[in-house]
Structure 1
């Protein structure tokens, strides 16, 4: 059997852990094995085949991995639950002060209290939600 066939078998063998473990490094090694198979098909010597495998594999790991890690870290974070309510604006429905009140936040009526106990907000004013404390929105 020709050497290039063995390199293709190695590429498939390296592709299996890629699928099973979702580790992209195995895919990069598989691409290196395909490059070595092409080198073998072009009648390159065994030393050249191994060098091509190593260079292509290491180059892919050195170049592609950092790019993939940067892209993974740039994904927008989708906020949900109370995290999505922080920073939103609300309308005061009942006077809000340090002891309580009511606001309309994201289409729902919430109990609210002012962040600063000495501050109060009148009906119709717009307030910013600083945090959610249990079932109470803390506003300013």
Structure 2
């Protein structure tokens, strides 16, 4: 079997492994193996092809790893759980008011205890906006 075919199989192996892990750790090795494939197909022996593999892998690692690290450190833009409820509107079921500002709202099809902060009473049937979720209580404003 020709050397370039072996290099091509190594390239595919690293590429598939990278696609399965999505860590951007094996991608530089796949790029280096592809360079080794090209060198071998151009007529280079095993040692020069391996040197091309090592150099291209090292350069790819130096260029790609900082990008991968920045990408992995970015906060998720998808809000889940109670964080996803912040900013949504809710329907007041029991008036919000009194000394504690407590009442009930329907938020995403569920009944939540709600509290207003610094507002007068909000009558039933009104629409409010969720400011935050504290435990099992939605803090709302009109």
TM-score (structure 2 length as normaliser)? 0.65
Question: Where does residue 112 of structure 1 map in the other structure?
Answer: 114
Q: Which residue of structure 1 aligns with residue 88 of structure 2? A: 88
Aligned 1:47-126 pairs, distance under 5 A: 49-50=49-50, 52-65=52-65, 73=74, 76-80=77-81, 82-97=82-97, 98-116=100-118, 119-126=120-127
1:77 Cα offset (Å):
1.1
Question: Normalization by structure 1: what TM-score?
Answer: 0.65
Q: How many positions carry a matched residue from both structures?
A: 136
User: RMSD of aligned C-alpha atoms?
Assistant: 3.6
The one-character-per-residue Cα deviations of 1:12-31 (angstroms, maximum 9, x if unpaired) are 6x739x46x93533342233
Q: Which runs of 5+ in 2 are unaligned?
A: none
Cα distance between partner residues in 2 of 1:2 and 1:111: 72
What's the CA shift string for 1:52-79, capped at 9, x where partnerless? 3244324433554455556664864142
Give deviations 1:30-54, integer Å, cap 9, x for gaps.
3312322331332236775355324
Q: What are the ranges of 5 or more consecutive residues in structure 1 without an aligned counterpart? A: none
Is 1:26 matched with 2:26? yes
Aligned with 1:49: secondary structure?
helix
